[in-house]
Structure 1
């Protein structure tokens, strides 16, 4: 059985692949009912709960259908026995956006907790650096 950090890495890689495919069920998998997400677009006070998290994704999928990528560039995981966090940089943009700013990366931070022996994302934070 893989160690906790490896399990979390796989969970995040599967999530990113689901985002890239526009697979809403895959994006929602392994997230807590009480998830809190701070995202790039409003609302600035964040998104609270799995239903609101679910509702936030269709506009992103529409934007992504223009040919945008959502690919993990770097990923670091730190895991304790029942809580963990991960931070990553992702290539997230249309080919035109990435050609204009080839080093631009989406910053991702995740907080996870283990419930009933299973890792779940309880907090998600996405941001781009401010120019």
Structure 2
């Protein structure tokens, strides 16, 4: 597989793991030094894999009530040892999309290649305001 294909597979697998509430798979391809800026606080983000793991359980509980988490579009740019990717996701309940059909979660990843393997070192989630 090309680097782009590897990264697409990594992100698709991450999204499936998030939707399934599988914390081990969610964290599997993240660096120990990952930084994440998320929709809910803390506003300074979370730093390190241990802190990253702590923020997911409340989201899994919320999502288990019937929310979607589906990648709609994904773009990847890969260099030799660093890459970035950005995506739009349907993240919410059916009534959320009835009220605002165009609302999408925006997602950005920064990745680096460690020992021939792509790992996520930066993750950013946001919703547009308005």
| TM-score exceeds 0.5 | yes
Measured against the shorter chain, the TM-score band is over 0.9
What secondary structure sits across from 1:19 in the alignment?
A: helix
- Cα distance in 2 for residues equivalent to 1:99 and 1:57: 26
- Given the two structures, how large is their TM-score scaled by the length of structure 1? 0.98
- Cα distance in 1 for residues equivalent to 2:93 and 2:14: 20
Corresponding position: 1:53 with 2:43: no
Matches within 5 A, 1:1-131: 2-131=1-130
What secondary structure sits across from 2:113 in the alignment?
A: strand
Q: Could you list the runs of 5+ residues in structure 1 that have no partner in the other structure?
A: none
Q: Could you list the runs of 5+ residues in structure 2 that have no partner in the other structure?
A: none
- The ranges of structure 1 where at least 4 consecutive aligned residues each deviate by more than 2 angstroms after the TM superposition are none
What secondary structure sits across from 1:51 in the alignment?
A: helix
- Cα distance in 2 for residues equivalent to 1:70 and 1:58: 15
- Given the two structures, how large is their TM-score scaled by the length of structure 2? 0.99
How well do the aligned residues superpose, as a CA RMSD in angstroms? 0.5
